[in-house]
């Protein structure tokens, strides 16, 4: 299995041995094989909906589990029924909470769960921007209690809605828009962002952290 050999090779590389590795899969067998080969966490864009064995597998593995919100599958998620919401942040929050509850009931430890609202998945461009602007409300209204204390991961990097907002048709040209989206996410309480161009976004988020969280970088003037 190609991904397993990659994980094993990274663990055997002296320069990469301590780098955290996340396996991106909705297949429980792939998740298990990758973790056994050295992966540290599982990232599942289906939130456990594509493989009924995923929750029990992750519970048995005992690793952090990032569960994303998505409706439908990769063939249907852009179709009208799956992108229609009366209140996108309210419904996404409620559906994420339901999946997190199911995960805990299956044996996944609550402190091992990371929630991802699924920017760019089963949402329109307008829905993505509305969701980004209401992450704090989603956490406050829909994710009360232990669910609201789970880390919130947002992955807007180079997504199509940024291209529509900026007129940048090539994904690689959307890094400044991505940085802005990540700053908006942090302003709304996001704990983790997933990006392609790390240096650009890191610089933007150092400023955002100082403004919104009072966290100052250790640099001299």
Catalytic residues: 159, 194
Name which of 36, 63, 131, 47 is nearest 92 in CA terms.
131
Select from 48, 86, 89, 41 the least CA-distant residue to 67: 48
- Smallest CA-to-CA distance from 58 within 69, 46, 73, 70 is with 46
User: Quick check: helix, strand or coil at residue 31?
Assistant: helix
For 94, the token pair is: 């409620």
**CA distance linking residue 158 with residue 148, whole number of Å:** 27
């Amino acid at each position: 299995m190609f991904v397993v050999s990659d994980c094993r090779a990274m663990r055997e590389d002296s320069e990469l041995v301590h780098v955290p590795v996340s396996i991106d899969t909705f297949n429980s067998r792939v998740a298990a094989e990758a973790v056994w080969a050295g992966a540290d966490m599982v990232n599942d864009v289906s939130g456990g909906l594509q493989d009924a064995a995923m929750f029990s597998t992750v519970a048995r593995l005992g690793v952090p589990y990032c569960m994303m919100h998505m409706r439908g599958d990769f063939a249907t998620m852009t179709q009208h029924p799956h992108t229609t919401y009366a209140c996108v942040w309210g419904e996404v929050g409620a559906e994420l909470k339901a999946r997190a509850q199911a995960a805990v009931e299956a044996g996944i430890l609550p402190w091992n769960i990371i929630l991802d609202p699924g920017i760019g998945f089963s949402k329109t461009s307008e829905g993505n921007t509305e969701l980004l602007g209401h992450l704090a409300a989603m956490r406050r209204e829909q994710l009360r209690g232990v669910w609201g204390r789970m880390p919130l991961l947002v992955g807007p990097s180079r997504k199509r809605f940024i291209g529509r907002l900026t007129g940048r048709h090539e994904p690689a040209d959307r890094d400044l828009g991505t940085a802005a989206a990540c700053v908006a996410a942090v302003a709304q309480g996001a704990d983790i962002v997933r990006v392609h161009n790390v240096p650009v976004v890191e610089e933007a988020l150092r400023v955002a952290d100082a403004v919104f969280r009072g966290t100052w970088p250790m640099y001299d003037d």
